[in-house]
C-alpha cells in the first residue's frame, strides 16, 4: 500500500515538474516580445511575404537558438511577433529592421514600410496577453505558434486541399472541443460558420 502511494506521489510530482518546466520555458518574466507590422502595397501577395520573408526569419532565429515562440496575424498588415530572452529579442529586432529595410529598397512595389510596436501602435512594447488570458496565456502562446507553423507550412510548401478546407477543419475541431454547437452554411464562394453561444 505504501509503495503504491509512493509511486502515485512520485508520478504526480513528475507531472507537476513537467508542467512547470513547460510553463517557464515558454513564459518567464525575463523574456521579451518583439512585434513588427509589415505594411504592403496591396495584400494580394501577402502569402508571398509569409512564404519567403517570414519563413526566412523564423528559420534563421530558430537556427541561432534565439526563438522560444512566435506567431503572426493578418491585420491586414502582417503582424509578426517573436519571443525570447531579452538579449536575443534585441538582436532579432536589429536583424528584422535590416532585412525589411533592404526589402523596401529593392522590392518597393510590394513592401511599403514596417513598424515596431504593440497591436500595431508605433513605439509601444508588446508584452503578451496574460492580462486577458491569465494563467492560460502560455497555452494560448503555443496554440498560436502551432497554428502559425501550420499556416506557414501550407503557404510555403503547398497544401493537398484548398486552404479554406484546412481552416474550416481547425475551427470545427476547436468548437467541438469547447462543446459549442455549430453548423456550416455553404454560400457558394463563401462558407458561413454559425454556432450557439452558451449563456
Q: CA dihedral defined by 31, 33, 34, 36, rounded to 10 degrees?
A: 170
The reported pLDDT for the residue numbered 168 is 79
Phi, psi of 3 (to 5 degrees): -65, -40
pTM, to two decimals:
0.80
Rounded to whole angstroms, the Cα distance separating 5 from 187 reads 58
Rounded to whole angstroms, the Cα distance separating 81 from 128 reads 10
The reported pLDDT for the residue numbered 12 is 47
Cα dist from 105 to 98, 101, 169, whole Å: 11, 6, 40
Going from N- to C-terminal start, the domains of the chain cover: 28-134, 163-195
The reported pLDDT for the residue numbered 5 is 45
pLDDT in tens, the chain (199 residues): 545 445 544 554 554 444 445 544 555 667 999 999 999 999 899 999 999 999 999 999 999 999 999 999 999 999 999 999 999 999 999 999 999 999 999 999 999 999 999 999 999 999 999 999 998 998 999 999 999 999 999 999 877 777 777 877 887 788 778 777 776 666 666 666 666 666 6
Query: Fold for domain 28-134?
Result: Alpha-Beta Plaits (3.30.70)
Strand partners, 85: 31
Amino acid at each position: 500500500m505504501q509503495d503504491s502511494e509512493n509511486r502515485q506521489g512520485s508520478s504526480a510530482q513528475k507531472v507537476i515538474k513537467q508542467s512547470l518546466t513547460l510553463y517557464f520555458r515558454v513564459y518567464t518574466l525575463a523574456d521579451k516580445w518583439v512585434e513588427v507590422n509589415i505594411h504592403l502595397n496591396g495584400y494580394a501577395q501577402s502569402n508571398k511575404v509569409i512564404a519567403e520573408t517570414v519563413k526566412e526569419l523564423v528559420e534563421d532565429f530558430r537556427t541561432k537558438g534565439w526563438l522560444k515562440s512566435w506567431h503572426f496575424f493578418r491585420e491586414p498588415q502582417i503582424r509578426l511577433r517573436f519571443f525570447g530572452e531579452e538579449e536575443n529579442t534585441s538582436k532579432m529586432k536589429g536583424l528584422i529592421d535590416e532585412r525589411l529595410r533592404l526589402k523596401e529598397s529593392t522590392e518597393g512595389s510590394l513592401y511599403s514600410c514596417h513598424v515596431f510596436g504593440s497591436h500595431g501602435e508605433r513605439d509601444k512594447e508588446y508584452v503578451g496577453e496574460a492580462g486577458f488570458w491569465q494563467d492560460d496565456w502560455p497555452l494560448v502562446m503555443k496554440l498560436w505558434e502551432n497554428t502559425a507553423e501550420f499556416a506557414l507550412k501550407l503557404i510555403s510548401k503547398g497544401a493537398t486541399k484548398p486552404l479554406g478546407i484546412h481552416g474550416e477543419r481547425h475551427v470545427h475541431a476547436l468548437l467541438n472541443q469547447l462543446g459549442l454547437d455549430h453548423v456550416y452554411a455553404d454560400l457558394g464562394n463563401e462558407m458561413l460558420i454559425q454556432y450557439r453561444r452558451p449563456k
